[in-house]
């Protein structure tokens, strides 16, 4: 990280598991318990948005109640110290920003707001939570046209936010180091970002429990939880920068 700058961090669900947020693809992950085709696709939402909200509502509560863990705080500190240029995240939980990271690119959207597919009105997370509390048995509806709101997260079958992906690709291509944290690098197009860094002559480091397709090409692979590894990285760099 000291030698190869700028450093861009790419995070996946594994960085948030120690905040109590389930991942998706592990044997105990969300999609081991629920069929993603039934609850996680844009087609499922369009055909039965009420059903999707019955699945989604308790999980949005988990996300909003979760707190950033030491890994999130370590990345924010590394940014303050000048070792991290930006965080590109597949996570929708807002924990990077709450931990203090300033430049965060959310390539899978976030829970920050929900949008009405009928009139395009945007509703804040606070408003959506209030609607769910008022009528917990109903999907939240638009204040303007009464359409069922859609969370501003990327469902299977949807395109990723164009501006966010353009930012992520530009950061990857200019990175001297991409640090992948808590991602199995299985979901494209985001899983292709490390290749862009390598193609441009940058290096790759991975902190993840479990294998990734890029392990053999990484300069460093740390098989450990992010909440254990990243604070130690921050501690060492903090001491050497003092």
Catalytic annotation, residues:
108
Which secondary-structure segment (H or E) carries 164? helix 162-174
Q: How far apart are the C-alpha atoms of 153 and 107, rounded to whole Å?
A: 9
Residue 181, beta-bridge partner list: 11, 207
Neighbours of 219 (CB within 10 A): 12
Instruction: Give the C-alpha separation, 104 to 116, whole Å.
Output: 25
- Report the greatest alpha carbon distance in the chain: 57
Tokens representing 123 are: 């509703």
57 DSSP assignment: H
How many whole angstroms separate alpha carbon 223 and alpha carbon 211? 9
Half-sphere exposure of 66 (CA within 13 A, CB side): 27
Counting other chains too, the contacts that 94-102 makes at CB distance below 8 Å and 24 or more residues apart are: 94/63, 95/16, 95/19, 95/66, 95/67, 95/68, 95/69, 96/11, 96/68, 96/72, 98/67, 98/68, 98/72, 99/68, 99/72, 99/73, 99/75, 100/73, 100/76, 101/72, 101/75, 101/76
Residue corresponding to tokens 């860094």: 197
């Amino acid at each position: 990280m000291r030698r190869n700058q700028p450093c861009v961090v790419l995070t996946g669900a594994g960085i948030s598991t120690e905040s109590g947020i389930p991942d998706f693809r592990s044997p105990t992950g969300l999609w081991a318990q629920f069929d993603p085709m039934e609850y996680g696709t844009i087609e499922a939402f369009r055909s039965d948005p009420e059903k999707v909200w019955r699945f989604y509502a308790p999980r949005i509560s988990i996300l909003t109640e979760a707190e950033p863990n030491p890994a999130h705080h370590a990345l924010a500190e590394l940014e303050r110290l000048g070792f991290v240029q930006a965080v590109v995240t597949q996570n929708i939980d807002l924990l990077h920003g709450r931990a203090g990271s300033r430049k965060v690119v959310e390539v899978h959207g976030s829970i920050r707001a929900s949008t009405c597919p009928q009139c395009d009105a945007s509703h804040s997370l606070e408003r959506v939570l209030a609607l769910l509390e008022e009528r917990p048995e109903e999907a939240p509806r638009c204040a303007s046209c009464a359409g069922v709101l859609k969370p501003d997260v990327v469902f299977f079958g949807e395109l990723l936010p164009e501006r966010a992906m353009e930012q992520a690709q530009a950061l990857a291509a200019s990175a001297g180091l991409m640090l992948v944290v808590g991602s199995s690098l299985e979901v494209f197009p985001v899983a292709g970002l490390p290749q862009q860094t390598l193609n441009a002559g940058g290096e790759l480091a991975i902190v993840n429990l479990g294998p990734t397709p890029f392990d053999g090409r990484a300069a460093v692979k740390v098989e450990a939880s992010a909440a254990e590894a990243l604070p130690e990285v921050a501690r060492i760099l903090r001491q050497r920068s003092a």
